[in-house]
Chain A
Amino acid sequence: MALLSFLDRERIIAHPGYSRWLVPPAALAIHLSIGQAYAFSVFNLPLSKLIGGTTSAPGDWQLSTLGWIFSIAIVFLGLSAAVWGAWLERVGPRKAMFVSACCFGAGWIIGALGIRTHQFWLLLLGYGVIGGIGLGLGYISPVSTLIKWFPDRPGMATGLAIMGFGGGAMIGSPLAVTLMNMFKASATHGLAETFIAMGIIYFLFMMIGVFLVRIPPPNWKPEGWKPSAAQQELVAVRQMHVSEAWRTTQFRLLWAVLFLNVTAGIGVLGQASAMIQEVFPGRISPAAAAGFVGLLSLANMIGRFFWSSTSDKIGRRHTYMIFFALGALLYFSVPTVGRMGSVVLFVSLYAVILSMYGGGFATIPAYLRDLFGTVEVGAIHGRLLTAWSAAGIVGPVLVNYIRQYQIAHGVPSAASYSTTMYIMAGLLVLGFIANALVHPLDQQQRAATRPLAA
């Protein structure tokens, strides 16, 4: 359609004079919006009282049922990124961002319809499935563009965007609370109206990214930039296609690296509020525990930028070595620090752990670019995100199952976290081994079909 021709790849090739510093805000507009997904739990309690009002009534949705909405959204994030990654490389970031904004916005509106009619399947289809597809497309759409605009600092550039995903919850949570209070007199206690408002707000905000984004012309590089010897050694000299890349041992090892890093972090994030209250009984109120969760989100966001920027200096492999070695050590120390009774030390320790959890997400695109080149890095990244979907299910299940098993066998609830932490440390040791086995592809493995700067 001619009306939508402004979305075409040919229309977004940057003209001379376009500043590459417009691309990170374009990416942030998308990631700050879709990062709201991390704050979806703010709706869980109000959604569980839709019929009852102040308390849950017969027919109201159970909290355990509502938990599926976030899980399904993350599963569809990974699936859509994997399935449509190659399409994104073909059509360019603007069209992908536009489709992402449409899906994410429509997901909220369909979800609102589900709330209004009290049909759970509509809510799940809207926010979980359609919104989840918007999350996946939005997550990967700016990544390869940023890598191409910032060949001198790919870690920092993708870290900036993916930092937005970590920060999205910090905007989404207070925004949702404000809107629910504003519309609280309605028949759905403000929920349906909040969903509609958020759908519109996020769609418009994502449009900022759609209109700002441009791709560099072929063979573009920053003025005066010459890759250092260390950078040349790191970067793939030939480009690899997604269909070939995902069959390599390196891809499988990186899948394991992301899966293990996310499994360890996501399990802790889900339990953070209950954990700090049970480890320090009588000292931490629910409000203070919510503050703890907020601080972890902040550490998660800062870690995304800090660690991915650091990886430009010390290399991706070394960065992940730090994540796994230091992470395992810190997880192992958590039970001891809890017994010592120092809240500040406990919080600091978790802040570092969560910074590395975020850093793991933000550094992986540059790691993929180092190994497989830039041509289809978005598509390859999309396939790798299935590790996130898998970890999103395995992490919380593993943590909850271990805890329930221990409590059923007479272990006090505060002490039940110790075994969980030791298992998480074990997962990170496995991640350390997987990362240690990642080596650059040899020349024969690289598909010699396209030049480096294609």
Chain B
Amino acid sequence: MTDTATTAGRSSPITIALAWLAVGIPLAWGVSQTIIKSLALFK
């Protein structure tokens, strides 16, 4: 159990990246939708 995982038997960096992408992509989509909608405020 470490900060980073590199060797066999450890959490693979790909797994870590996929886990972050799984939550990051929907969040980024939501944030982008919010910013697009909020532009109307400054028109």
Residues of A in contact with B (beta carbons under 8 Å apart): 14-22, 25-26, 28-29, 32, 164, 167, 169-174, 205, 208, 212, 216-217, 220, 222-223, 284-285, 287-292, 294-295, 297-298, 343-344, 347
Contacts and interface: CB of A to CB of B under 8 A. Distances in A.
Contacts of B10: 16-19
Contact of B37 (A32, A172, A290): A290
B3 A223 contact: yes
Given A16-B1, A19-B11, A20-B1, A32 B39 contact: no
A292 B23 CA distance: 25
Question: Which of A19, A20, A174, A289 has the most B CB atoms < 10 Å from its CB?
Answer: A19
Contact of B34 (A164, A285, A298, A344): A298
B40 A287 contact: yes
Interface on chain A toward B: helix, strand, loop, or mixed SS? helix
Interface in B11-43: 11, 15-16, 19-20, 22-23, 26-27, 29-31, 33-35, 37-43
Interface on chain B toward A: helix, strand, loop, or mixed SS? helix
B5 A288 contact: no
Ranked nearest first, the 4 interchain pairs of A and B with the lowest CB-CB distance are A17-B10, A170-B30, A291-B38, A171-B30
Contact of B11 (A17, A170, A217, A285): A17
A220 B1 contact: yes
A344 B42 CA distance: 8
A343 B4 CA distance: 46
A164 B23 contact: yes
Contacts of B39: 291
Given A22-B15, A208-B19, 6 more contacts: A19-B3, A20-B1, A21-B20, A173-B33, A294-B35, A294-B37
B19 A292 contact: no
A17 B19 contact: no
B20 A294 contact: no
Given A291-B37, A292-B38, A167 B30 contact: yes
B30 A174 contact: yes
A295 B33 CA distance: 11
Contacts of A217: 1
B1 A19 contact: yes
Nearest to A16: B1
B15 to A, nearest CB: 7
Given A25-B20, A29-B22, A295 B29 contact: no
A21 B16 contact: yes
Contacts of B20: 21, 25
Contact of A295 (B9, B30, B41): B41
Interface of B: 1-5, 7, 9-11, 15-16, 19-20, 22-23, 26-27, 29-31, 33-35, 37-43
Contact of A17 (B7, B27, B42): B7
Given A171-B26, A212-B19, A223-B2, A18 B31 contact: no
Contacts of A169: 30
Given A171-B30, A288-B41, A19 B5 contact: yes
A127 B13 CA distance: 38
Nearest to A211: B19
Contacts of B26: 32, 171, 205
24 contacts: A16-B1, A16-B10, A17-B10, A19-B2, A19-B5, A22-B15, A25-B23, A28-B23, A28-B27, A164-B23, A167-B31, A171-B30, A172-B30, A174-B33, A208-B19, A208-B23, A212-B19, A287-B37, A290-B37, A294-B35, A294-B37, A295-B38, A298-B34, A343-B41
Contacts of A288: 40-41, 43
B27 A18 contact: no
A291 B34 CA distance: 7
B34 A170 contact: yes
Nearest to B8: A17
Nearest to A14: B1
A440 B41 CA distance: 45
A19 B11 CA distance: 6
Contacts of B11: 17-19, 21-22
Contacts of A174: 29-30, 33
Contact of A216 (B1, B15, B30, B40): B1
B4 to A, nearest CB: 7
B27 A32 contact: yes
Nearest to A295: B38
Given A288-B41, A291-B41, A16 B19 contact: no
Question: Which of A18, A32, A287, A291 has the most B CB atoms < 10 Å from its CB?
Answer: A291
